[in-house]
Amino acid sequence: MKVLITGDHAGMTIRNEVIKLLDELNIEYEDAGCSCEHSVDYPDYALPAAEQVASGEFDRGIFICGTGIGMSISANKVRGIRCALVSDVYSAELTRRHNDSNVLALGERVIGPGLAREIARTWLETEFDGGRHADRIEKVTAYETHQSKQEAGEL
């Protein structure tokens, strides 16, 4: 598994904790987050990172900002991204098992470093159940495809 981790200025502490976890789990990753303390715009990090995940360059992404909301909204604008904003371990497990999420959004101002590690570990180690859940994912993908064709004037 290859993971892209990114974040804005408000997610640096949690991002560093998740990077330590990725190192401990021997998971290949790239850090595309900001390395500054001044305010930056989350879409500038979330959108290019989501495109890299959607293209298949990375298997999954972990996106972190103050609340996780901005990263999640931005990432989900990219076709093929299923980003879940998670603040508990149970949701981290189910978003992988049932929704095959490929991006995890975390909020540093919402959860602490210890919980962030637990959420990320659970999300990274949980597999997609498939079955009836795959049928549901296919419906979302079909909708995205239809919308893209409609916007391109192909329909």
> Annotated active-site positions, please?
65, 98
Report the alpha-carbon angle 91-97-101, nearest 5. Answer: 75
The three-state secondary structure class of 29 is strand
Cα separation, 26 vs 22, whole angstroms = 6
Please give the backbone phi and psi of residue 82, each rounded to the nearest 5 degrees, phi first: -125, 85
Cα separation, 15 vs 65, whole angstroms = 9
H-helix or E-strand spanning residue 116: helix 113-125
Cα separation, 36 vs 29, whole angstroms = 20
One-letter amino acid identity for 104? L
